[in-house]
Structure 1
């Protein structure tokens, strides 16, 4: 009996506790950032990046929620998702499995996912150094691989694989419609993204914003005034506005030209910026592994739905960008501070997704939660202090006017659209029993 008791204690201790070892939570944010770095390498466009984050974290959250029943399972929030049955045998550590699952799902889904194999090896080596036994690591990896494979199969049913079979977007005839912009004149990005299956919202049209201001060349019209405001702002930017615009640029692939030479610069996506803010906030709030993982997955899924909703409107209204309007009707030599992204203008993507995520983070971690954002340090910009998530989202939104890439109505109506999405997600997670984490 003493032998059986001791054996039972050792198994339980090896799988669940290991309290003397460093907290596994400190590995979660670097693991997610490793996925971010591969997306930067791959130049993942903003909507696609949100999808990769969502699925990379879904399996990890599934593993955690099956072991910590205090957390709501994904199937309770996502209608199309069913509980993943874990068939792998052996005593495993669910947090190790969750960590490895983030990397394994990214490895399977990202174009350059093979780059995460080195991160997997580093994680295993670190766990060994921290005293985790190989007898626990191996079955944990097996569970991660099984769940990642099943998540990838689920992801394959969301219509993403059909996008390449659809007709390419052709610019419509008419001055009111979007047309490719310099310097790259890149064709429209993800014109059929609205067909992607959402996570929380019912459909891409659930939060359709009010119509954009009607296009007009009349210098007394409301639209012309919107265009002239962008022109005037661009001509009179002070250092503060220039910095704000550059800070929230988040253009995954900007092109700088010099003569006949074009140089591409890879940057983090808007969603990647907010995923990093989530990491900063959960670390400052000192949330444990499970709460930190939940916060990241909820933010990722909110991003995914916000992009689906926004992209539905972008290609329905198909509105021309300020750069095109100003060059045609006001000043042929004018250039925006930021490079105009290659997709229609209305509504502003950063306004929609930032506002939506800010509502979710405000519920989960708190209002008036101050933090220092260091996301752009990687791109040689200084840190920036914010008093709340909503303040950061508001700055991200108005940055698009300063940058010269959006009209004001696209920003303000985008904020309304984003708040409606965020409020809906919060109501849904409240109904599912998810309480504030901090």
Structure 2
């Protein structure tokens, strides 16, 4: 009897070790999806959507096999429970492979992930998993990924291109395309995308922005002048912070008649990488790591839906346009003005929302080193909490010259409301802090 107990304990220990080993593949899998989106120049709202679906299948698989993981079908109303035919598979291998397989199916250049899938298989073979076990797990992953892709196809995304083309509103107060690309408004109908966790795009609509005025004594002119003066008198630290949180998927640099585009990570991509860093640093296993990633992605997706609902309702003019028209025709912001209306600040909304979620799941004093921007020649940075990182991301938009202060502060309020609503939803459904 004693030998039997010892054998059971030994096997249990090996199972825990295997789970910890597989956790090391999670961050690379998500980063592979990120790299394809950088290649495709996926805009910020769409990127959050792709992350969500890529993680949702993996989350579903984990919940089937781990009783500690609350199934997404329990609190995401639009997802109906489903099953698959595959049997006798390693569910953690299936979950990891499903991230890549879902991306392969739904991303414009998803075929690029086939190489990452091959690398994952090679790594698993090196870790002594059998080819048979891997093949069965891949079969399961493909079944789930196909169902997630079919579910994703019903959220309204595929019909966006059929909607009436957006035309900027007429009038001095409204957004108009900005230099150097004068790109038309990105995703003007994003509010029609089905949310994952919130009830509707307008559920957390912020108060109207400060009213436009050319009067130099008005509140609006004071907001504008603050952007102008801040941009002229930036400290080196402020310049660095603005550049660090730039997160412009496609910045255009002009030289004479030549325009050169530089691809970067999206705001949501930056926060997904922060999520990966936090999960890797923690002691949690793969299953909870997938849970945290999936919830972060869904929070980002809904925060973008909420933000974009307001952007194209108020269609507020950007500081660059106002300053060039009424204050200084030669002034330029440090960052390139994004091609969509100003209010509210997207980075402020999504950063605040996801930082609230991560704070709930991982703690208020979870310190981490963010190396997201190293691939763009910016150094790794240390943050003492998710909220402090989000606050810096928000104010960076003033330093960058692309947002007024009220869009930042009201964006933070909007994001906090989204984040807290999601946290309460998770609590009601038994999802507790993971560490």
TM-score (normalizing by structure 1): 0.96
Residue 284 of structure 1 deviates from its aligned partner by: 1.5
| SS of residue in 2 equivalent to 1:17 | helix
Matches within 5 A, 1:100-115: 100-115=97-112
Confirm or deny: 8 A CA contact 1:251 1:341 kept in the other structure: yes
Match of 2:429 among 423, 432, 435: 432
Instruction: Say whether 1:124 aligns with 2:106.
Output: no
Match of 1:230 among 227, 230, 236: 227
Residue 173 of structure 1 deviates from its aligned partner by: 1.1
**Alignment-derived partner of residue 166 in structure 1:** 163
Residue 84 of structure 1 deviates from its aligned partner by: 2.2
Residue 184 of structure 1 deviates from its aligned partner by: 0.3
Match of 2:28 among 30, 48, 51: 30
Confirm or deny: 8 A CA contact 2:227 2:319 kept in the other structure: yes
Match of 2:181 among 172, 181, 184: 184
| SS of residue in 1 equivalent to 2:99 | helix
RMSD (CA atoms):
1.6
The number of aligned residues is: 427
Matches within 5 A, 1:25-424: 25-88=23-86, 90-424=87-421
Aligned partners of 1:126 and 1:388: how far apart in 2? 33
Confirm or deny: 8 A CA contact 1:21 1:130 kept in the other structure: no
Residue 218 of structure 1 deviates from its aligned partner by: 0.5
Instruction: Select between 166-175 and 321-330 the one with higher mean Cα deviation.
Output: 166-175
Unaligned runs of at least 5 residues, structure 2:
none
Confirm or deny: 8 A CA contact 2:19 2:92 kept in the other structure: no
**Cα deviation code 1:221-242 (max 9, x no counterpart):** 0000000000000000010000
**Cα deviation code 1:4-47 (max 9, x no counterpart):** xx9xx99xx79x93846971000010000000000000000000
Instruction: Select between 163-172 and 306-315 the one with higher mean Cα deviation.
Output: 163-172
Aligned partners of 1:164 and 1:273: how far apart in 2? 27
- Structure 1 131/432 Cα, relative in aligned 2: closer, same or farther at 3 Å? same
Aligned partners of 2:296 and 2:260: how far apart in 1? 33
TM-score (normalizing by structure 2): 0.96
Aligned partners of 1:411 and 1:366: how far apart in 2? 24
Confirm or deny: 8 A CA contact 2:19 2:286 kept in the other structure: no
Residue 370 of structure 1 deviates from its aligned partner by: 1.1
Confirm or deny: 8 A CA contact 2:211 2:220 kept in the other structure: yes
Aligned partners of 1:278 and 1:322: how far apart in 2? 32
